[in-house]
Amino acid sequence: MAFVMGNKALLETQRELRTHVPNFTFNLGFSGKFFHAGSDEEDLGDDLLLSYVKEFWWFPHMWSHMQPHLFHNQSVLAEQMLLNKKFAMEHGIPTNMGYAVAPHHSGVYPVHMQLYDAWKKVWGIKVTSTEEYPHLKPARFRRGFIHSGISVLPRQTCGLFTHTIFYKDYPGSPNELDKLINGGELFLTVLLNPISIFMTHLSNYGNDRLGLYTFKSLVMFVQTWTNLKMQTLPPIQLAQKYFSLFPSERDPLWQDPCEDKRHKDIWSKEKTCDRFPKLLVIGPQKTGTTALYLFLGMHPDLTSNYPSKETFEEIQFFNGHNYHRGIDWYMEYFPLPSNTSSDYYFEKSANYFDSEVAAQRAAALLPKAKIITILINPADRAYSWYQHQRAHDDPVALKYSFHDVITAGHDAPVKLRVLQNRCLVPGWYAIHLERWLNYYHSSQLLVLDGQMLKTEPASVMDKIQKFLGLANIINYHKILAFDPKKGFWCQLLEGGKTKCLGKSKGRRYPDMDAESQGFLREYYRDHNIELSKLLYRMGQPLPSWLREELVHTRASRCHCPDDGLLCVLKEEEEEEEGRLRDAQEGTFSV
Ligand code: A3P
């Protein structure tokens, strides 16, 4: 009668634990298909448990304990859940707790959107838990996140598994289990985490009732040796508490599911990491990113993303709200890999460059990716961006001159200040590049001279092909042609015609006024110096425009006596002198 006794003991233990932990309640998972599917005594145990149904909390654990990631079709998954729900209703099991657990952690992380959608549809699930985010080990790094309206809480490991059901057979010796509890890892888990969620299997509540033994002993040990106050909360309140304690964990950080074998095993077989890009063109905006995107797409080994309806060719996944749509959404932008098509996927989203979050997110999902950035003189970039905003009828850009925008002071209207920031901040190149270098090795990053991309795109494409290590090297001198009417290089089509970028790229507008030029030269001076140091460190050549700016910097910082013979460099500039000389000679080569 082990199961009957075990189930009685469950209730008794709950009552006992409540005297130490207010509101302590076991949360029991059910897979309806296995109800009354055991031996006679196990079936009796099932009945007994249901006779106390109101004493416990309950969560659905899938009708037949199937792993959700095996269901590609959301409606089939929902049908399975409905069977379990019907079972719950027939047996008076509450269906409104808003909490569920997926068998074997499947579908929770890595996220299987079909599971999230079916859970919400059938059960109104708001909370779940897993041991797998971001990874099972090390346990102390487990975190929570919120995705698609479902709070995913970190679950802890309690040392009891399906195979550890008898005290005397505990791996190592029974003493090992006691050590875990009495000051060992299990105790430390409770001590170091303000919220702990544990889960063990039914077999640990029958047999030797190790589940009950473990939690009772743990509570006693914690109460004896600490002054921690323990309490139990229902799942939804628990999730609210968790994310109010750890608000920074709300946003998930998607990892590459193929970097962790456990994750790969619980990821749908329909999904493949070969559907992620291997190259990101990160911008910044207005540096020639669309031209580069077109030229890359002409290469037979490279495949671009499908265009986005919202943002034209750009997916804009890593920098903004699209990230919260998850990696299934992102992958949909790339073709399913096939033997016939090339699988070197790339995407460009020009505002990744200066995003606070894109580098970290990209590196988590695409740690091996290659990254390309294009830099033009930040002053020209700012001006091109301003013209772009005017062309898009931005009322603030239409109202104020470029000079007004770049020189607006702290007391200027908020809208103008916002526009100013968006105009100028992407040009703080060194600061943004440093952020990417925090997450990617410098050998993964290629910095292109945007001026050269404009004037000698074929040579730039040679460099890129080498950087990417492509098998086929294409001679872009033969497939690009300068279009005098457009004033830019374009794709050469059969019959000698050219396909150029639309009129929004390579716009015609008056030159920047001299006063703004002077202001921006001063404004970006230190940023440009920092950039030169950074590129030097990276072993990348300085773009031509940067060399010119540095030369200008030196000239303007020299204090020339009247006879004009002697230039006195400031102390800090002396340090730079050697580098400036190299820059002038163009000897910063890789
Ligand atoms: P302007 O329109 O201000 O001249 P992005 O695609 O990143 O928004 O950059 C647009 C800029 O790309 C254009 O800015 C243009 O100067 C530059 N560009 C570089 N090569 C080009 C090309 N082959 N065709 C069109 N524009 C090109």
Give one word for 495, left, alpha or beta, with left for phi > 0 and alpha for psi -120 to 50.
Answer: left
Instruction: Please tell me the distance between residue 391's alpha carbon and the centre of ligand 1 in angstroms.
Output: 14
Instruction: Please tell me the distance between residue 239's alpha carbon and the centre of ligand 1 in angstroms.
Output: 48
**Residue of minimum CA distance from atom 19 in ligand 1:** 288
pLDDT digits (tens, 9 = 90+) for 25-60: 999 999 999 999 989 988 998 899 999 999 999 999
204 lines ligand 1 (CB under 6 A): no
Return the residue matching tokens 């399906």.
Answer: 162
Q: How far is CA 416 from CA 31, 61, 206, 406, 501, in A?
A: 59, 54, 69, 9, 30
In terms of Cβ atoms closer than 10 Å to its own Cβ (0-12, 13-18, 19+), residue 185 is middle
Q: How confident is the model at residue 3 (pLDDT cuts 50, 70, 90)?
A: low
The pLDDT score that the predictor gives to residue 585 is: 56
The pLDDT score that the predictor gives to residue 572 is: 44
Instruction: Please tell me the distance between residue 386's alpha carbon and the centre of ligand 1 in angstroms.
Output: 14
CA dihedral 97, 98, 103, 106 (to 10 degrees): -170
**Residue of minimum CA distance from atom 24 in ligand 1:** 488
453 lines ligand 1 (CB under 6 A): yes
User: Which residue in 286, 348, 370, 454 is the catalytic one?
Assistant: 286
Global pTM? Answer: 0.90
| DSSP bridge pairs for 147 | 150
| The pLDDT of residue 183 is above 70 | yes
Share the mean pLDDT of the chain.
92
Return the residue matching tokens 């971001």.
Answer: 134
Q: What residues are designated binding site for 3'-phosphoadenylyl sulfate? A: 384, 489, 505-509
From the centroid of its chain, how far is CA 436?
14
Q: How confident is the model at residue 7 (pLDDT cuts 50, 70, 90)?
A: confident
Angle at 286 between CA 284 and CA 290, to 5 degrees: 90
CA distance 121 to 156: 28
Pocket test for ligand 1, best of 505, 507, 511, 545 (most atoms within 8 A of CB): 505
CA distance 115 to 74: 7
Please tell me which residue, 317 or 203, carries the higher pLDDT value.
317
Q: Give the residue ranges of DSSP H helices in 119-233.
A: 174-181, 185-192, 210-225
Instruction: Please tell me the distance between residue 1's alpha carbon and the centre of ligand 1 in angstroms.
Output: 79
525 contacts 555 by C-beta, under 8 angstroms: no
233 contacts 241 by C-beta, under 8 angstroms: yes
Kindly give the number of the ligand 1 atom that is closest to the alpha carbon of 504: 2
pLDDT digits (tens, 9 = 90+) for 470-513: 999 999 999 999 999 999 999 999 999 999 999 999 999 999 99
**Residue of minimum CA distance from atom 8 in ligand 1:** 286
The pLDDT score that the predictor gives to residue 590 is: 30
Tokens representing residue 304 in the block: 């671009």
76: CB partners within 8 A, 6+ apart: none
| The pLDDT of residue 390 is above 70 | yes
Kindly give the number of the ligand 1 atom that is closest to the alpha carbon of 490: 23
pLDDT digits (tens, 9 = 90+) for 518-563: 999 999 999 999 999 999 999 999 999 999 999 988 776 654 443 3
Report the percent of the chain where pLDDT is more than 70.
Answer: 93
Q: How confident is the model at residue 568 (pLDDT cuts 50, 70, 90)?
A: very low
359 contacts 438 by C-beta, under 8 angstroms: yes
Pocket test for ligand 1, best of 290, 492, 499, 508 (most atoms within 8 A of CB): 290
491 lines ligand 1 (CB under 6 A): no
The pLDDT score that the predictor gives to residue 439 is: 98
Kindly give the number of the ligand 1 atom that is closest to the alpha carbon of 290: 6
Known active-site residue 137: no
